[in-house]
Structure 1
Amino acid sequence: MGHSDGDHGSDLSADDSPWSEGSWSDDDDEGSLSFEDSGEGSDAESDEPDAPAVEESDSSEDEVAPRNTVGDVPLEWYKNEEHIGYDITGSKIKKRDREGRIEAYLRNADDAKNWRKIYDEYNDEEVQITKEEAKIISRLLKGKTPHTNVDPYPDYVDWFEYDGKGHPLSSAPEPKRRFVPSKWEQKKVVKLVRAIRKGWIKFDKRKEEPNFYLLWGDETDTADNKRQGLSYIPAPKPNLPGHEESYNPSVEYIPTQEEIDSYQLMYEEDRPKFIPRKFDCLRSVPAYEKALREGFDRCLDLYLCPRTRKKRINIDPESLKPKLPSKKDLRPYPRTCYLEFKGHNGPVKSLSVEATGQWIASGSSDGTIRVWEVETGRCIKVWNVGGVVHRIAWNPSPDRHILAAVVDHDLLLLNAEVGDEDAQTKTKGLLQIEELAQEEDNGDKKSAVKWVKHEKFDGIMLIHHKLSKKHSHHPFRKLPGLPIAAVFHPSQKMFFVATKKFVQVYDLQKAQLVKKLESGVREISSISIHPGGDNVIVGSKDGKLCWFDTDLSTRPYKTLKNHSKDITNVTFHRKYPLFASSSEDCTAYVFHGMVYSDLNQNPLIVPLEILRGHSSSDGRGVLDCKFHPRQPWLFTAGADSVVRLYCD
């Protein structure tokens, strides 16, 4: 079966013979270069048949290193760059200019060796293969081994010795039992058939599928109905310990003593379950005092807490977001601070804008009332009332410039002394008080209102207010709580009174309660009516703002949680679809609130801007906010004794 070394070359077939140098025909025209498999060995092999074959080295030092040293980085990363990589010295390998297809075609037509050129994308260069490489490619295309000195059919070498190796397979004939049915298997089948006929072996009856189905159900409902017994729902795993549970946590995880004391003021469900502590070593860590309690609670979660399987609906989270218009389409609205009014020495508690928008009035806890000119920011009038000014308001009539201020327990009506002479004359005539004649003391009538002239200011002071049932109607005798704020309806004879939990709407003409709005907040702090009269916004001391649609329901249509502290005031703009809220967290939020005439369309509420700039003083921030009556401007009064004007 084997061959001798001398006859080995003559016994090989033509396809397995090595390439000979004479098989290459290299004419003057390089384009006519061809290579064939002659079936004979090379001249070197024919002259020296016993010459040892040249062994190929596996060393990586023999390989030519690539010029580009970027490694496995994708070449797409250098698509828009001027270089394709870096050489071994770290210099950039510039991309060569790509020529057009017409120029490349003309150049290749004149180049006889073009068919042996290959473009290397990795190194951005053209490589010309050699004749030896062409031979290897030719053999691979024919399905042969790359090298000619490889014998694809070597002689089999049997490395083991055993008896009868000349006849490895048995020559015995096939037994008869392989073609005849088994007698014992036949007896077993007869026995099973007899047991089935006599009823000894019973089979489960096939369950008939019902012909009815759920009309409004789906496949999942049908599968749940077919399931017998309760499905296994694994218990939720407890949370793994984090860095704060470490016996030697970082400094940022260890709370200070002030933070630990603040935990006592929090609700029990909001307190942290574990307070990190630092120990020198693991041996000094004491036993966890809540281990038994937490283990018991975990057992309750595992055995007593019911677990239900909920169906998961694959919904894109982006589709759940409401499609709100762009802020650019909702302009104008106040965005930046344009002017600051400085002059008070204490927190500015109240603001009011004159009906024409030329002047604003501010009342402070330093006992002063100031009138400012809006365009210039100049203070034109100051009153020292000697008490804390809680509220201040302008007369809504532009012809009579009167200021109403609540100072301690008194209500002052002041002549602002602004405007032309005609307006000032009307204002003085309105505030003129004549001596009232003494009424007959018959015991049936009492003075409902007592007006006296103030000794120091040009105005009058309401020092006592008592309404009896004989003189006028008193609709607020039975309020559900302490009244917080009260406003009039802009167009109808209705009155809104806000208590801690509710807003009551009274009809002054019919002298009866019309509606009661339930806010659902901890405590109401302010209220404002939309110029249309059908929508109300309410601010609360837990940072929530409630929007009521009085025609829709007595409960809030929208509840916005934007502020982190108490809301001090809310206000609507008279002309633009804007409303704002101020809070003690030193911010004021501006919203777009469009109310449509179509009753089937809900109001559009869009948050627009967060106005910052006021600093905190004694834990208080922005105390009041008012819109300009004609421009999209917002005035804010802060506890830092500054009044700010925000414009578009």
Structure 2
Amino acid sequence: MAATTSSTSPSPGPEPGPGLGSEPGPGPDQNQTGTRTRTRTGTRTGTRTRTRTGTRLQEEAARGAAQAGEAVVELFPSSGTKRHQSTSRTLGLFLSEESFLCDDELLGAGPELLEAGPELLEAGPELLGAGPELLGAGPELLGAGPADGQDSDSEDSEDSEFSGLEDSGSDSDSDLDEEDDEEDEDEEDEDESEGGSEEETVKETVKETPEDAGDSEVPLQQQQKHDEYEHDSSDEEDIRNTVGNIPMSWYSDFPHVGYDLDGKKILKPIRTKDELDQFLNKMEDPDFWKTVSDPQTGRDVVLSEQQVALVKRLQKGQFGDVDFNEHQPSVDFFSSEVMIHPVTNRPSDKRSFIPSLLEKEKVSKLVHAIKMGWIKPRRSEDDTRGRYYDLWASDEQSKTRDLRMHVPAPRAPPPGHEESYNPPPEFLMNDEERALWEQQDPEDRKLPFVPRKFSCLRQVPAFERFIHERFERCLDLYLCPRQRKMRVNVNPEDLIPKLPRPRDLQPFPTTQALVYRGHEGLVRSLSVSPSGQWLVSGGDDGSVRFWEVSTGRCVKKVEVGGAIKGVAWNPNPSLSLAAVAVASQVLLVSPPATAADKQVVTVTERLLAEEAEPDAGEGPVVWSNAEGEELLQGIRVKIQHPKAVSMVTWHSKGDYVAVVMPDHSSHLQVLIHQLSRRRSQNPFSRNKGLVQSVAFHPIRPYFLLATQRSIRVYNLLKQELSKKLQSNAKWISSLAVHPGGDHVICGSYDCKLSWFDLDLSTKPYKTLRHHRKAVRSVAFHRSYPLFASASDDGSVIVCHGTVFSDLLQNPLIVPVKVLKGHVTTHDLGVLDVTFHPSQPWVFSSGADGTVRLFT
């Protein structure tokens, strides 16, 4: 009896190559990691054998040795129990039960065969040398097979590399082998240099297959025997890396890429190519463009022509199979034939007639959810949404809509008496009216024609502009839009806001009490002392006058030698001082001795007697003490500026004074002087626009600066712009801040007074247009909810402005009184206005050279 073994030697002998040659097998350090049951049994590390001739020699040698009772030894460098079982099972299929061992006996004889491995290995070359003789005796041995009761090989040729281990009785295996052989040829493009002779040998073997299958008869027992591996897929048996379908990035930090079938590590290939080597490889290797890297093994794989064609088809959006027809007619295999009985006559189960408990529980949960409001029913979607319309089709609804919304054209007005051929005399024009009518524009004329008089109708000539008039009528009909105006019956009294009566808002000034006369020119500015007992005024006559409020007596007069642009009394009650802006100087003038207590005068003198700091004299501003005649008049300190000063204002604490020098070409438009240290500073390195007025915030460290069109609020602590108020005015003239600090009013030369709520918006909360001419000055009362505005129309309008502590309630603004008394001179009226600090009185100065008190 012949014995069949599967060699597990780590160092197998040479295996047959093309043309009975031999190729060196894998060395000891090369692992054979995978086998194929029907298609591949060769080594994965060495050069793979492509020819089928050596395999056929082994098959003939095996059959001849079996008939002669000799031991058949096959030298397959395979490792593992799987190859041993596959070899034993495959050989057992074509060895008869009477003469040879079956599969079970082969498995039992495995250990003995493994011990005889070295001897069988030495006998390998002799068996290979006897290949031609055994090949010649093959047909005789195969012809005698059926007579002796042996299994004959129905298909002598297989498309795998080692077909001697294949199940020759399975037709399906032959088909699978052909497909696998095509895959082998696609994967093994690296051996193209030797591929010519090998492909010819494969083709000859494939051509001999049907002849051999036709000569031999398959026994009935072999046909009925079912192959359990018929439908198995062996595509993954050739994969050396057995880690499975996992991300290969997990092995990025390891020197290996996985494990083979023996559990040994598969090392990563050494990548020593730099950019130059890759460039040379790209230029010299013709297969560089179709070479990809296998992530499982890390090796470079050259794609075959079939794989390249498959990739191109997939890139074009085509099917991978060329022969696939997506438009082939479908075969109605189910309903094409009328069946008498249903598909199955199996009776229905009893449980199909019983309601499902799971469905009952699900329905009860849904009902409970709907009752609790957790699930809301779907709303019916609007049918108009998602509906498409034909733009060019006739729409009946549009026609009815046009009829419903039709607005008839207004009729032409009927002719009047002026169009008569014999109009009344009052409709006829004289020479002056006709000359005036001809000078007017056609749009401004009341009549488009000149009325004429004729004695009779037949003397009326033809109308020359008849066609032109009809043309204009047609233009009006189709160019002028028509609109239906719905008449709303509104009571006019409802449109008037409900305001409180002025007598309920008293006290406020109503009548003129005193007139302070003495100035010979324009009185441009005035200011009241903190106590309310004294008043200072300045005008174009170059004099500063101090008045007693209650009597109207001029207590003191100071000549400064120039037109005075502004005066301001220090608001600090502990200081008795007034600032006067004249030309490019700011003079600090002390009031008369009777205007303050001796203690206040002493403190003021001590403050003004302090010497300036060493760096105070440097820069554009020069501080100096008055001497001689100026000192006798009451001038204490002079502050020299580079430009003309137009305005001066004090801080509420009385230590800082701000001046304005409007000039587009200079960045020194605003300066702030500190009286106690005699220092001056420029808070703005660059000014956007021409500065008109400035003001200190009464309670917060804010500084308000008014330009021609906007008001900027700066935070002095953070040194940044806090807000920018848009006045919607063409030219702002004056500025005032509410004592509470949350509201600002500004007057403009375009007859507007704007009220700003700093907490509400940057736009005006209310705009008043009560004056007919430019607004020159605005002012707030310190304690009463009053504010006033002075205009060139010669009037002072006093308004009641109530500010509520509730931020949700808007301020209530009510004009209460229009005060008149000043005479307009050279188109100038009232130039400045200010309130008494404690009484509801208002002072005004005008272009007529007078100062008036209204109480």
Alignment TM-score > 0.5, same fold: yes
Matching of residue 483 in structure 1 with residue 691 in structure 2: yes
The equivalent of 2:623 in structure 1 is: 451
Residue of structure 1 aligned with 2:569, choices 380, 390, 394? 394
Matching of residue 431 in structure 1 with residue 603 in structure 2: no
* Matched-pair contact (CA < 8 Å) for 1:590–1:610: yes
Matching of residue 462 in structure 1 with residue 639 in structure 2: yes
The equivalent of 1:531 in structure 2 is: 739
CA distance in structure 1 between the aligned counterparts of 2:569 and 2:769, rounded to whole angstroms:
31
* Matched-pair contact (CA < 8 Å) for 2:409–2:477: no
Deviation at 1:431, TM superposition (A): 2.0
Q: How does 1:308-347 map to 2 (within 5 A)?
A: 308-347=483-522
CA distance in structure 1 between the aligned counterparts of 2:683 and 2:417, rounded to whole angstroms:
61
Cα–Cα, structure 1 residues 603 and 231, in superposed 2: closer, same or farther, change >3 Å? same
The equivalent of 1:247 in structure 2 is: 429
Residue of structure 1 aligned with 2:839, choices 617, 631, 634? 631
CA distance in structure 1 between the aligned counterparts of 2:697 and 2:427, rounded to whole angstroms:
58
Cα–Cα, structure 1 residues 241 and 325, in superposed 2: closer, same or farther, change >3 Å? farther
Cα–Cα, structure 1 residues 478 and 227, in superposed 2: closer, same or farther, change >3 Å? same
Cα–Cα, structure 1 residues 617 and 472, in superposed 2: closer, same or farther, change >3 Å? closer
The equivalent of 2:749 in structure 1 is: 541
1:336 is aligned with what amino acid?
T
CA distance in structure 1 between the aligned counterparts of 2:851 and 2:466, rounded to whole angstroms:
55
Q: How does 1:10-29 map to 2 (within 5 A)?
A: none
1:77-120 alpha-carbon deviations (Å, 9 max, x no partner) = xxxxxxxxxxxxxxxxxxxxxxxxxxxxxxxxxxxxxxxxxxxx
CA distance in structure 1 between the aligned counterparts of 2:784 and 2:430, rounded to whole angstroms:
58
Residue of structure 1 aligned with 2:533, choices 333, 349, 358? 358
Q: How does 1:248-263 map to 2 (within 5 A)?
A: 248=430
CA distance in structure 1 between the aligned counterparts of 2:671 and 2:835, rounded to whole angstroms:
37
Please identify, of 559-568 and 418-427, the stretch whose mean Cα deviation from structure 2 is larger.
Answer: 418-427
Deviation at 1:245, TM superposition (A): 9.1
Residue of structure 2 aligned with 1:562, choices 770, 779, 782? 770
Cα–Cα, structure 1 residues 420 and 554, in superposed 2: closer, same or farther, change >3 Å? same
Matching of residue 419 in structure 1 with residue 591 in structure 2: no
- The aligned length equals 401
CA distance in structure 2 between the aligned counterparts of 1:551 and 1:609, rounded to whole angstroms:
28
Deviation at 1:303, TM superposition (A): 4.0
Percent identity for Structure 1 against Structure 2: 43
Deviation at 1:522, TM superposition (A): 1.2
Deviation at 1:606, TM superposition (A): 0.4
CA distance in structure 2 between the aligned counterparts of 1:379 and 1:244, rounded to whole angstroms:
65
CA distance in structure 1 between the aligned counterparts of 2:694 and 2:831, rounded to whole angstroms:
18
The equivalent of 1:286 in structure 2 is: none
Cα–Cα, structure 1 residues 314 and 374, in superposed 2: closer, same or farther, change >3 Å? same
1:280-305 alpha-carbon deviations (Å, 9 max, x no partner) = x999xxxxxx9999999887655423
CA distance in structure 2 between the aligned counterparts of 1:374 and 1:393, rounded to whole angstroms:
16
* Matched-pair contact (CA < 8 Å) for 1:399–1:423: yes
Cα–Cα, structure 1 residues 446 and 345, in superposed 2: closer, same or farther, change >3 Å? closer
2:832 is aligned with what amino acid?
D
So what's the TM-score if we normalise by structure 1?
0.55
The equivalent of 1:550 in structure 2 is: 758
CA distance in structure 1 between the aligned counterparts of 2:426 and 2:508, rounded to whole angstroms:
46
Partner secondary structure for residue 506 of structure 1: strand
Partner secondary structure for residue 558 of structure 2: strand
1:150-189 alpha-carbon deviations (Å, 9 max, x no partner) = xxxxxxxxxxxxxxxxxxxxxxxxxxxxxxxxxxxxxxxx
1:523-576 alpha-carbon deviations (Å, 9 max, x no partner) = 111111011111111111010111100100000000110111100001110100
Partner secondary structure for residue 641 of structure 2: strand
* Matched-pair contact (CA < 8 Å) for 2:779–2:834: yes
Cα–Cα, structure 1 residues 231 and 520, in superposed 2: closer, same or farther, change >3 Å? same
Cα–Cα, structure 1 residues 291 and 459, in superposed 2: closer, same or farther, change >3 Å? farther
Cα–Cα, structure 1 residues 387 and 232, in superposed 2: closer, same or farther, change >3 Å? same
Cα–Cα, structure 1 residues 538 and 300, in superposed 2: closer, same or farther, change >3 Å? farther
The equivalent of 2:560 in structure 1 is: 385
CA distance in structure 2 between the aligned counterparts of 1:587 and 1:555, rounded to whole angstroms:
27
* Matched-pair contact (CA < 8 Å) for 2:407–2:484: no
Cα–Cα, structure 1 residues 338 and 297, in superposed 2: closer, same or farther, change >3 Å? farther
Structure in which a larger fraction of residues adopt strand: 1
1:452 is aligned with what amino acid?
S
1:440-473 alpha-carbon deviations (Å, 9 max, x no partner) = xxxxx9547420123442211111376999x997
Deviation at 1:416, TM superposition (A): 1.2
* Matched-pair contact (CA < 8 Å) for 2:567–2:579: yes
1:345 is aligned with what amino acid?
E
CA distance in structure 1 between the aligned counterparts of 2:563 and 2:839, rounded to whole angstroms:
30
Cα–Cα, structure 1 residues 309 and 644, in superposed 2: closer, same or farther, change >3 Å? same
Matching of residue 408 in structure 1 with residue 583 in structure 2: yes
CA distance in structure 1 between the aligned counterparts of 2:571 and 2:545, rounded to whole angstroms:
18
Q: Structure 2: any 5+ residue segments left out of the alignment?
A: 1-381, 385-396, 419-424, 455-464, 643-667, 673-678
Greater C-alpha Rg: 2
CA distance in structure 2 between the aligned counterparts of 1:237 and 1:370, rounded to whole angstroms:
72
Deviation at 1:367, TM superposition (A): 0.8
Partner secondary structure for residue 351 of structure 1: strand
* Matched-pair contact (CA < 8 Å) for 1:473–1:511: no
Deviation at 1:306, TM superposition (A): 2.0
So what's the TM-score if we normalise by structure 2?
0.42
CA distance in structure 1 between the aligned counterparts of 2:636 and 2:417, rounded to whole angstroms:
70
1:453 is aligned with what amino acid?
N
2:522 is aligned with what amino acid?
P
Deviation at 1:307, TM superposition (A): 2.6
1:483 is aligned with what amino acid?
V
1:600 is aligned with what amino acid?
L
Q: Structure 1: any 5+ residue segments left out of the alignment?
A: 1-211, 215-221, 284-289, 440-444
Cα–Cα, structure 1 residues 564 and 410, in superposed 2: closer, same or farther, change >3 Å? same
Deviation at 1:238, TM superposition (A): 8.7
Larger relative contact order (CA 8 Å, sep ≥ 6) = 1
1:350 is aligned with what amino acid?
S
* Matched-pair contact (CA < 8 Å) for 2:407–2:483: no
Deviation at 1:340, TM superposition (A): 0.5
The equivalent of 1:231 in structure 2 is: 406
Matching of residue 583 in structure 1 with residue 791 in structure 2: yes
The equivalent of 1:501 in structure 2 is: 709
Partner secondary structure for residue 579 of structure 1: strand
CA distance in structure 1 between the aligned counterparts of 2:578 and 2:500, rounded to whole angstroms:
40
1:565 is aligned with what amino acid?
K
Deviation at 1:400, TM superposition (A): 1.2
Please identify, of 341-350 and 319-328, the stretch whose mean Cα deviation from structure 2 is larger.
Answer: 319-328
Cα–Cα, structure 1 residues 423 and 274, in superposed 2: closer, same or farther, change >3 Å? farther
CA distance in structure 2 between the aligned counterparts of 1:291 and 1:529, rounded to whole angstroms:
66
Q: How does 1:613-628 map to 2 (within 5 A)?
A: 613-628=821-836
Residue of structure 2 aligned with 1:368, choices 543, 546, 550? 543
Partner secondary structure for residue 586 of structure 2: strand
2:822 is aligned with what amino acid?
H
Cα–Cα, structure 1 residues 237 and 546, in superposed 2: closer, same or farther, change >3 Å? farther
* Matched-pair contact (CA < 8 Å) for 1:547–1:557: yes
